[in-house]
Amino acid sequence: MLLSIPTLLMVAVFIFGLMGLLTLHAWSRGVREQTLGYLGSMLILAALGATLVSLRGQAPDFISLVLGNIVLLLGAALNWTAMRVFGGRPAHLPGIFAGALFWSLWGLMPGFYDDLGLRVTLYSLFTAVYGGLSVFELWRNRKHLEVAYLPALLLTLAHTGFYAVRSFADQGVSLEHALASTGHGTIFFAFLLFESMLYAIGIAYVTLAMVRERTELKFKAAAYTDPLTGIGNRRAFMSRGAQLLADCARRGEPAALLLCDLDHFKRLNDAYGHQTGDQALIAFSQVASQSIRQADVFARIGGEEFACLLGNADEHEALRIAQRICNSFHALPLLDAGVLSVSIGIVAGNAGEHELSRLLSMADNALYAAKDQGRNRVQLYQGAFSAPGPTSPATTTPPAQVG
């Protein structure tokens, strides 16, 4: 049984408007994501455009046939823009207004109001093109979206496919016949309204889900990131370091832990100011990041204290990397020559013998030995991962001074 076209049209207008308002509400209530702003505006335009189109016979044809379809095409363009912005690209104003501008100019041409089939074909093609662009934006940015984009992709693809089919399979039906459910294309028109309602509900839901998922990922990343240097914080180091240590133990590979502490950092702050101290911390994080491998775990775990866990690295590799960090940091022209320096304690050996917290304690002993012997040096914890006795201090290798 065919549903009443007037009822479907009225329900469609209310659904478009309601989903648009809810989407804009979500956008305004703290989730300040441009994607939701564009999508909410698209749904509001869909409600307005459907309302204007439904005024055929009660208002001048210009309002329903020209202005109504212009509004609907702008809505389709904003749908594309929402996906484009979500993928990290800016809105493309010429593209947004291209369909509406074409329709405006075509509305001035003789014969526009008489050719229903051509209007349906061209409107459907424009909508399909904007839908195809939306699919393209989701697909091209899929690798860095980091969210479940597939529902939005499939939903938009189905919506695009429907209008592509309509462009050649539907010759249209006049609104009068559609409302009276007597025209040849009435069934297709009813299905169009039903599909549009499903798409409006579906795209609003899945887009909001994608935005919320990405927001949660950003909050999680912030919780694991040091805000000053941009590298991991202590929480990130303990979590990722434990995983790297477990992976090395499973593969039977050695591991090495470097514990770094900037020398005389309080004196540096007092003499040059806290802003310079912050610059020194940032500079060290950059020097160390450039000296290690991408798979290694590096983080700021305290005020001026940094830790780096090297996977599949023995003590010789650890000493080489630590010396490079010391030399590079000491040579930075950030302050007067020789002012910047760092001491590094190293523990290296079998990855399966101790937990990360124990390794940090052992590396800390080596770090204090480096401090006691003059700073600006690296110090290797003697005996690899073998723990010292309960009362005897950790032994160290002779210092390898730099500078």
Q: What total number of domains does the chain contain? A: 2
Q: Which two tokens stand for residue 350?
A: 């079998």
Establish if 279 belongs to a structural domain. yes
Reported pTM = 0.73
Q: Are residues 17 and 64 in the same domain?
A: yes
Q: Are residues 205 and 308 in the same domain?
A: no
d(CA 133, CA 128): 9
- Kindly report the number of other CB atoms within 10 A of residue 246's CB atom: 14
Q: Are residues 281 and 369 in the same domain?
A: yes
Q: Are residues 214 and 262 in the same domain?
A: no
Residue after which a domain boundary falls, among 223, 251, 271: 223
H/E segment holding residue 52: helix 34-53
Establish if 188 belongs to a structural domain. yes
Q: Residue 174's domain is classified under what CATH number?
A: 1.20.1070
Q: Are residues 127 and 17 in the same domain?
A: yes
Q: Exposed, middle or buried by CB within 10 Å (0-12, 13-18, 19+), for 161? A: middle
Per-residue tens of pLDDT for the chain, all 403 residues:
456 778 888 999 999 999 999 999 999 885 568 999 999 999 999 999 999 988 887 888 899 889 999 999 999 999 999 999 999 999 999 999 999 999 999 988 888 888 888 888 999 999 999 999 999 999 999 988 889 999 999 999 999 999 999 988 876 666 665 555 555 657 777 888 899 999 999 999 999 999 999 888 888 888 999 999 999 999 999 999 999 999 999 999 999 999 999 999 998 988 889 999 999 999 999 999 999 998 999 999 999 999 999 999 999 999 999 999 999 999 898 887 678 999 999 999 888 778 899 999 999 999 999 999 888 999 998 754 543 333 223 333 333 443 3
Tell me the C-alpha to C-alpha distance, in Å, between residue 403 and each of 172, 288, 313.
82, 17, 25
Establish if 294 belongs to a structural domain. yes
Q: Are residues 9 and 76 in the same domain?
A: yes
Establish if 73 belongs to a structural domain. yes
- Kindly report the number of other CB atoms within 10 A of residue 32's CB atom: 10
Q: Which domain holds residue 372?
A: 234-401
Q: Are residues 71 and 133 in the same domain?
A: yes
Query: 300: which strand partners?
Result: 306
- Kindly report the number of other CB atoms within 10 A of residue 256's CB atom: 30
Q: Are residues 58 and 98 in the same domain?
A: yes
Q: Are residues 343 and 266 in the same domain?
A: yes
Residue after which a domain boundary falls, among 203, 223, 243: 223
Q: Residue 241's domain is classified under what CATH number?
A: 3.30.70.270
Q: Are residues 341 and 215 in the same domain?
A: no
